[in-house]
Amino acid sequence: MKIVTVVGARPQFIKAAAGSRQIRKEHQEVLVHTGQHYDDNMSAVFFREMEIPKPKYNLNISGGSHAQMTAKMLVGIEDILIKEQPGAVLVYGDTNSTVAAALAAVKLHIPVFHVEAGNRLGSLNSPEEVNRIVTDHISTINFCATEDALQKLKGEGLGNRSYCVGNIMYDSFLHFSNKRWEQHNIIDFSGNKILIPAKYYFMTCHRQENTYSDAPLLEILKAMNSLELPTIYPVHPRNHDRAKRICENENYKNIILTQPVGYSDSVHLVQNAKKIVTDSGGLQCEAFYAGVQCVFILDYIVWPETMIGNRNQLAKPLCEDILAKLSVEQDVDLTYQPFGDGHAAEAICRIIRDWEEHK
């Protein structure tokens, strides 16, 4: 079967690394990159490093409002689907690329497979929540990363087309964490390779809630600068100027600002960090996989499975709250594995095979 897979953002590249590797063993895959993450360090380097097949199409759509971006993607993806005539469209996660591809497909009566379905924040204030709900309800098959997500979809009447397969990001994490970290490509804003400290904290911060103005990011950086170890902070291109200006104005010498890092470097930074502070849904899962404690800077829980034994704690973008959460130690139960066994891609292909036989 011909499957058109649509990706656009960095977390989707990580998932596609595992998904495409397995899908191409059984199907003809046509990969479409919307261009949502356009920076080389946010996009092209991931495809090279993770051995993701080169996209057949790149729409180069980035920037603008949610409506502008989604509308342009809808038009571009529809043209591709009419040309390719696939048997199904596969999407990952909850970005504008996800919902645009799902809408374009369903209006052309093409089945949609949604990987990482069923996650719920309980707030429509998050654009990703809107994308998830819409995509789940128009998909032919929903592949859930956790049992909790499956139960959410059953509660919405989608149980007959939803399956728990495990988190496909865990497939990729295991694949790359088992490789030796012989040399890194982590560079500062001037293009110079940094010296990785023997001990450090690892931080990322990209969500609009935490970067819309100086105030929240200043509080987060103030907390990290006050710690006993340096903090490595790969900065999203959108926040480059703000982060640099704050650190210079406040004379924050304990924070190492870097350009965005590749996935292998990110995995090993996670594995070797003392603790992690982030607002990334994917990175908090990777911290969990690695057994590294995480503080999540957001007002709502993204992965409830990680919120156990202080392994992941919510904090507000306030210096005192972040430091208070970092002072608490975690309790790790190695028998607790809510994200599956690292073979989600195989389970997805098995369910697609069964669907093909019985449709």
Cβ burial, residue 161 (10 Å; 0-12/13-18/19+): middle
37 is catalytic: no
Phi, psi of 356 (to 5 degrees): -60, -40
Q: Is 65 helix (H, G, I), strand (E, B) or coil?
A: coil
Backbone phi, then psi, for 297, in 5-degree steps? -90, 85
Token pair belonging to 161: 């087309």
DSSP 55: P
Please answer whether residues 84 and 30 qualify as being in contact, where contact means their C-beta atoms are separated by less than 8 angstroms. Answer: yes
User: Beta partners for 91?
Assistant: 6, 114
Query: Could you give the 3-state DSSP secondary structure of residue 271?
Result: helix
Q: Are 196 and 184 contacting, i.e. CB atoms less than 8 angstroms apart?
A: yes
- Hey, is 122 helix, strand or coil? coil
Supply the DSSP symbol for 187: B
Do the beta carbons of residue 302 and residue 336 sit within 8 Å?
A: no
Only one residue has tokens 């392994």, namely 311
- Rounded CA separation 322/294 (Å): 11
Catalytic residue among 206, 240, 343, 358: 206
Give the whole-angstrom CA distance, residue 77 versus residue 81.
Answer: 6
Active site residues: 206
